[in-house]
């Protein structure tokens, strides 16, 4: 079922099998958005789509999407339209966190982390930004990480990619603001999802539903950069202030 009215708002969620993505999808649907859930093995999302449709009465479509198939992203906007119709918001959620030790020993694993979290996200969003700009409408939410705010020995390839993504989103925001196309950068702290389960050194872990609520509220308020939960903004302010000559000796 689709929402009433001549122009239903439709959001595409890239990496929709993610725990955070599914919490965001529910929040958006509750706010009246139709959805396109784009993911690898998207057939596995059929029960999720059916549940979202039943709970919110919004239209939910599925789209096959592999972020690492960079050449395919030029056709992404047209594929979304063919599958569901016009869309007005892109939420880029997919990501990959490798194992620090494995990435040191095998640079192919590091390349996967760098490519998934930075290059693939940037290429997707570059194409979608051009599409939005040509139409004069649209919006982008990109999921970065607090890990991008300072490099640490435990995950610096992931952090470097997320830092690159944050700068890319900042530039997009600057470019697209005159066209009325808003870009929100999200920097979650630790979230209880498959990405972090079993990892050492986790603290202040938030449920995905809390993060999703913050994301959708920040979007509705046209915020530019969101740290979620809120206290990570202040924690990272303190962490960024630690002098490098001390920071380099910490085991983080």
Ligand X SMILES: NC(=O)c1ccc[n+]([C@@H]2O[C@H](COP(=O)([O-])OP(=O)(O)OC[C@H]3O[C@@H](n4cnc5c(N)ncnc54)[C@H](OP(=O)(O)O)[C@@H]3O)[C@@H](O)[C@H]2O)c1
In contact, 107 and 152? CB cutoff 8 Å: no
Draw the binding track, 232-251, toward ligand X (x: CB under 6 A; -: no contact).
Answer: --------------------
Binding segment for ligand X among 16-24, 55-63, 99-107, 234-242 (CB under 6 A)?
Answer: 16-24
Task: Please identify, using beta-carbon distances, which residue of 2 and 196 lies nearer to ligand X.
Answer: 196
Task: Please identify, using beta-carbon distances, which residue of 94 and 132 lies nearer to ligand X.
Answer: 94
19 binds ligand X (CB under 6 A): yes
Draw the binding track, 58-97, toward ligand X (x: CB under 6 A; -: no contact).
Answer: -------xxxx------------------------xxxx-
Interface pick for ligand X out of 138, 139, 188, 229 (rule CB under 6 A):
188
113: which residues sit within 8 A by CB, 6+ positions away? 96, 97, 98, 103, 157, 158, 161
Residues in the chain: 252
Task: Please identify, using beta-carbon distances, which residue of 59 and 159 lies nearer to ligand X.
Answer: 159
What's the CA angle centered on 21, arms 19 and 132, to 5 degrees?
165
Near ligand X in 114-143, by CB under 6 A = 116, 143
- Label each residue of 121-162 as H, E or C: HHHHHHHHHHHHHHHCCCEEEEECCHHHCCCCCCCHHHHHHH
Q: Taking the complex as a whole, how short is the minimal distance between the CB of residue 151 and ligand X, in angstroms?
A: 15
Q: Taking the complex as a whole, how short is the minimal distance between the CB of residue 193 and ligand X, in angstroms?
A: 3
Alpha-carbon gap, residue 76 to 66, rounded angstroms: 11
Near ligand X in 193-222, by CB under 6 A = 193-196
Alpha-carbon gap, residue 57 to 152, rounded angstroms: 44
Q: Is 172 helix (H, G, I), strand (E, B) or coil?
A: helix
Interface pick for ligand X out of 42, 145, 155, 185 (rule CB under 6 A):
145
Give the H or E element holding residue 12. strand 10-14
15 binds ligand X (CB under 6 A): yes
User: Residue with the closest Cβ to ligand X?
Assistant: 95
Count helices and strands in the chain by DSSP H and E runs: 10, 7
Q: Is 199 helix (H, G, I), strand (E, B) or coil?
A: coil
Size, binding site for ligand X by CB under 6 A: 26
Binding segment for ligand X among 56-64, 73-81, 184-192, 229-237 (CB under 6 A)?
Answer: 184-192
Q: Is 206 helix (H, G, I), strand (E, B) or coil?
A: strand
Residues that bind ligand X (CB under 6 A): 15, 17-20, 39-41, 65-68, 93-96, 116, 143, 145, 188, 190-191, 193-196
């Amino acid at each position: 079922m689709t929402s009433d009215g001549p122009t239903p708002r439709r959001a595409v969620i890239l990496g929709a099998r993610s725990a955070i993505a599914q919490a965001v999808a529910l929040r958006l649907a509750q706010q009246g958005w139709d959805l396109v859930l784009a993911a690898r093995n998207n057939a596995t999302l059929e029960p999720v789509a059916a549940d979202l449709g039943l709970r919110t009465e919004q239209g939910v479509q599925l789209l096959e999407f592999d972020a690492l198939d960079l050449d395919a992203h030029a056709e992404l906007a047209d594929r979304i339209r063919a599958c569901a119709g016009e869309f007005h918001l892109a939420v880029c959620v997919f990501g990959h966190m490798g194992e620090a030790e494995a990435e040191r020993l095998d640079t192919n694993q590091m390349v996967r982390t760098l490519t998934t979290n930075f290059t693939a996200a940037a290429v997707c969003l570059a194409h979608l930004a051009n599409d939005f700009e040509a139409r004069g409408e649209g919006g982008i939410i990109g999921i970065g990480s607090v890990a991008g705010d300072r490099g640490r020995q435990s995950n610096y390839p992931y952090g470097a990619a997320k830092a690159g993504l944050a700068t890319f989103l900042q530039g997009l925001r600057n470019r697209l603001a005159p066209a009325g196309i808003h870009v929100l950068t999200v920097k979650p702290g630790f979230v209880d999802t498959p990405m972090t389960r079993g990892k050492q050194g986790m603290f202040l872990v938030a449920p995905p539903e809390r993060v999703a609520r913050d994301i959708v509220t920040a979007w509705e308020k046209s915020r530019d950069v969101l740290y979620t939960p809120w206290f990570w903004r202040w924690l990272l302010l303190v962490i960024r202030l630690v002098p490098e000559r001390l920071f380099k000796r910490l085991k983080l």
